[in-house]
């Protein structure tokens, strides 16, 4: 969603708006990496992606599904996904229903 907005701003030649969206995305990505830095294994990039995908897949019902696996075979801690959930919610990117709902 935000990436689409950035693309549209760039295409329309609205550099100031594009830079603002880019800065917002940068802050979100940095916050996502920070939110998962205490995961027991893996790296912030892959763990942030696992958490975000879990939330996008299941939406607000994410706790009703098995948590994502880490490289080590353990599960991504619920507390870390809760942090990521807060970030997505603040950015208005958390769906009520995920893409696997139905």
pLDDT, one tens digit for every residue, the chain (102 residues): 578 888 898 999 999 999 999 999 999 999 999 999 999 999 999 999 999 999 999 999 999 999 999 989 999 999 999 999 999 999 999 999 999 986
Q: Where are the beta strands (DSSP E) in 2-83?
A: none
- Domain extent for 40: 2-90
Q: Is residue 9 part of a domain?
A: yes
Domain count, the chain: 1
Q: Is residue 98 part of a domain?
A: no
Q: Is residue 60 part of a domain?
A: yes
At 75, give phi and psi (nearest 5°): -95, 150
At 69, give phi and psi (nearest 5°): -80, 145
Q: Is residue 33 part of a domain?
A: yes
Q: Is residue 39 part of a domain?
A: yes
What pLDDT score was predicted for residue 15? 93
Q: Is residue 97 part of a domain?
A: no
Q: Is residue 102 part of a domain?
A: no
Q: Is residue 96 part of a domain?
A: no
């Amino acid at each position: 969603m935000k990436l689409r907005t950035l693309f549209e701003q760039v295409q329309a030649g609205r550099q100031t708006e594009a830079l603002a969206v880019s800065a917002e995305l940068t802050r979100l990505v940095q916050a996502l990496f920070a939110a998962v830095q205490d995961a027991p294994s893996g790296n912030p990039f892959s763990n942030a992606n696992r958490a975000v995908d879990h939330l996008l897949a299941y939406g607000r019902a994410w706790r009703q599904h098995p948590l994502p696996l880490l490289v080590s075979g353990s599960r991504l801690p619920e507390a870390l996904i809760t942090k990521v959930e807060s970030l997505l919610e603040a950015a208005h990117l958390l769906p009520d229903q995920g893409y696997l709902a139905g």
